[in-house]
């Protein structure tokens, strides 16, 4: 069954139509990228799916259930995870402590239990860190980690909610190219193995062409192309209005790397 469906999502800000009848579907285990130039409506669409922004028209369904206008917290309980931002981690806490906090939050245990956080869920948190390759650094303060490793911990934190859908808004922003490739490979591997659907926006075309199963191209609030990385790369309209030379090079690099 289709995991996520957006149907006719539309949002206006004054005279600007930020998203105009945006429709797409995402299957379990699929990596779906949303790309487009600045101001294309990516964040607007993303935030309507994630419950931060109320659409003027259209609807969002999760495994057939209408979740339009469902707030993020309630969506989380339905299995929609988001990648967290660095500022939302507790920098003085250990790596494993941060993941334990996420597990506690997911189970909606009360704040009084925080004093016991060191004991609670440690094994489960270590198992999550293992999935993102960070178990060996479990007891370091998160503030000491390299940025790419913080991103891995953030992924573990998102996975603590046992999501069936992950929403990732520019997951590789601010990362070095080698770190980006490693993080996206990790996300794609987990998504495919565990049948988690991933919707992500991304400015880094190398990450998109190497790891997306399908790509949506938004321009001025409308989807102008959709399909496999190959189809999107070859689309003359996409070439003209968005990708140009840099996208062609990114696609060629992705093909060389991934056969």
Ligand X SMILES: Nc1ncnc2c1ncn2[C@@H]1O[C@H](COP(=O)(O)OP(=O)(O)OP(=O)(O)O)[C@@H](O)[C@H]1O
Tell me how far, at minimum, the Cβ of 224 lies from ligand X, in Å. 13
Number of other residues whose CB lies within 10 A of the CB of residue 121 = 23
User: What residues line the site for ligand X (CB under 6 A)?
Assistant: 13, 16, 18, 36, 38-44
DSSP state of 135: G
209 vs 242, which CB is nearer to ligand X? 242
Cα distance between residue 28 and residue 26, in whole Å: 7
Report in angstroms how near the CB of residue 41 gets to ligand X at its nearest.
4
The DSSP bridge pattern shows strands 57-62 and 65-66 to be antiparallel
> How far is 211 from 233, CA to CA, in rounded Å?
14
Least CB distance to ligand X at residue 38 (A) = 4
Give min distance, CB of 218 to ligand X, in A: 6
Nearer to ligand X, 18 or 32 (CB): 18
| CB of residue 175 to ligand X, shortest distance in Å | 17
CB of 42 to ligand X, least distance (A): 3
> Strand 31-35 and strand 165-169: pairing?
unpaired
Q: What is the rounded radius of gyration, in angstroms, for the C-alpha atoms of the chain?
A: 19
- The smaller minimum CB distance to ligand X, of residues 42 and 226, is found at 42
Query: Nearer to ligand X by C-beta: 33 or 120?
Result: 33
Closest CB to ligand X among residues 102, 225: 225
Considering the complex, state which of residue 39 and residue 133 has its C-beta at the smaller distance from ligand X. Answer: 39
φ and ψ at 75, to 5 degrees? -60, -40
User: Closest distance between ligand X and the C-beta of residue 164, in Å?
Assistant: 24
| Closer Cβ to ligand X, 18 or 166, answer by number | 18
Find the distance separating the first CA and the last CA of the chain, reported in whole Å: 30
Torsion of CA 8, 12, 16, 19, to 10 degrees: -30
Say if residues 147 and 174 touch (Cβ distance below 8 Å). Answer: yes
Which residues have CB under 8 Å from 84's CB, separation 6+?
154, 157, 158
């Amino acid at each position: 069954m289709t995991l996520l469906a957006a149907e006719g999502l539309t949002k206006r800000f004054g005279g600007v139509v930020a998203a105009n009848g945006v429709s797409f579907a995402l299957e379990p285990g699929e990596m779906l990228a949303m790309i487009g130039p600045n101001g294309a409506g990516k964040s607007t669409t993303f935030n309507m799916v994630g419950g931060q922004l109320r659409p003027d028209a259209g609807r969002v369904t999760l495994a057939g259930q209408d979740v339009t206008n469902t707030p993020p917290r309630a969506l989380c309980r339905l299995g929609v995870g988001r990648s967290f931002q660095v500022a939302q981690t507790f920098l003085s806490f250990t790596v494993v402590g941060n993941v334990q906090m996420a597990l506690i939050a997911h189970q909606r245990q009360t704040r009084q239990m925080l004093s016991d956080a060191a004991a609670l869920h440690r094994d489960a948190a270590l198992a999550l860190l293992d999935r993102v390759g960070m178990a060996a650094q479990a007891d370091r303060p998160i503030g000491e980690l390299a940025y790419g490793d913080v991103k891995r911990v953030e992924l573990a934190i998102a996975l603590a909610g046992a999501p069936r859908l992950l929403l990732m808004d520019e997951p590789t922003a601010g990362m070095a190219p080698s770190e980006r490739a490693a993080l996206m490979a990790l996300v794609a591997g987990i998504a495919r193995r565990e049948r988690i659907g991933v919707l992500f926006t991304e400015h880094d075309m190398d990450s998109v062409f190497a790891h997306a199963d399908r790509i949506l191209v938004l321009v001025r609030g409308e989807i102008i192309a959709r399909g496999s990385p190959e189809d999107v790369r070859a689309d003359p309209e996409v070439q003209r209005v968005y990708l140009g030379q840099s996208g062609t090079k990114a696609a060629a690099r992705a093909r060389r790397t991934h056969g």
